[in-house]
């Protein structure tokens, strides 16, 4: 599967990201934040995969600098565990725990490069506001934010790019998209 997308991978051991290359991505790699920033400034990349725990300069600092330079470039951060301070997430588009495995990383990169931009384009094309929702057949009462709906997992599943079962199969490495 050829994607023609170039990923900047800033990781202490870039060979651990071989699943991305195997699935058609071109990889530009750096083993530390300084080299990664230099490479980012000198080449054209479609997305960045960055390890949270880098030597000397942390991944969140590098992600902040990349987002300041080019806010449109999606950043996927690899973490040892999903517990991070909120400030570490402000410049990141997706988090992947290393324990989730390489297929989950690949699925997440695929999502931020393909599904998420399509959702943004679709949202821009749709008229917004209560009047526009009524024209699309959404009743007035449904356009109000219902706090209970945010607690209902089935409501968020309807908007998810993949079903819960498909995510589990991807995480287990039992499927290729």
Query: Domain spanning 6-122: which superfamily?
Result: Response regulator (3.40.50.2300)
Structure confidence by residue, pLDDT tens digits, 44-83? 999 999 998 776 667 888 999 999 999 999 999 998 876 6
Cβ pair 91, 60 in contact under 8 A: yes
Cβ pair 62, 33 in contact under 8 A: yes
3-state secondary structure 112-134: HHHHHHHHHHHHHHCCCCHHHHH
What are phi and psi for residue 54, nearest 5 degrees?
Answer: -105, 160
Domain ranges in the chain are: 6-122, 126-177
Is the pTM above the cut of 0.75? no
Residue 2 has pLDDT above 60, yes or no: no
Q: Residue range 3-23: average pLDDT?
A: 89
Residue 175 DSSP symbol? -
Cβ pair 75, 67 in contact under 8 A: yes
Residue 14 — pLDDT band, cuts 50, 70, 90?
confident
């Amino acid at each position: 599967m050829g994607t023609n997308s170039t990923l900047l991978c800033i990781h202490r051991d870039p060979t651990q990201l071989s699943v991305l290359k195997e699935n058609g991505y071109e990889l530009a790699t750096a083993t530390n934040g300084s080299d990664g920033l230099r490479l980012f400034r000198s080449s054209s990349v479609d997305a960045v995969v960055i390890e949270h725990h880098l030597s000397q300069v942390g991944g969140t600092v590098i992600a902040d600098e990349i987002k300041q330079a080019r806010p449109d470039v999606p950043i996927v951060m690899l973490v040892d565990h999903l517990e991070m301070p909120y400030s570490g997430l402000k410049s990141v588009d997706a988090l992947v725990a290393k324990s989730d495995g390489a297929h989950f990383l690949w699925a997440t990169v695929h999502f931020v490069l393909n599904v998420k931009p399509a959702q943004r384009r679709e949202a821009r094309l749709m008229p917004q506001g209560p009047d526009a929702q009524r024209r699309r057949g959404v009743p007035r009462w449904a356009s109000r934010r219902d706090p209970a709906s945010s607690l209902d997992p089935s409501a968020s599943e309807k908007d998810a790019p993949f079903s819960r079962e498909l995510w589990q199969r991807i995480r287990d490495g039992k499927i290729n998209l």
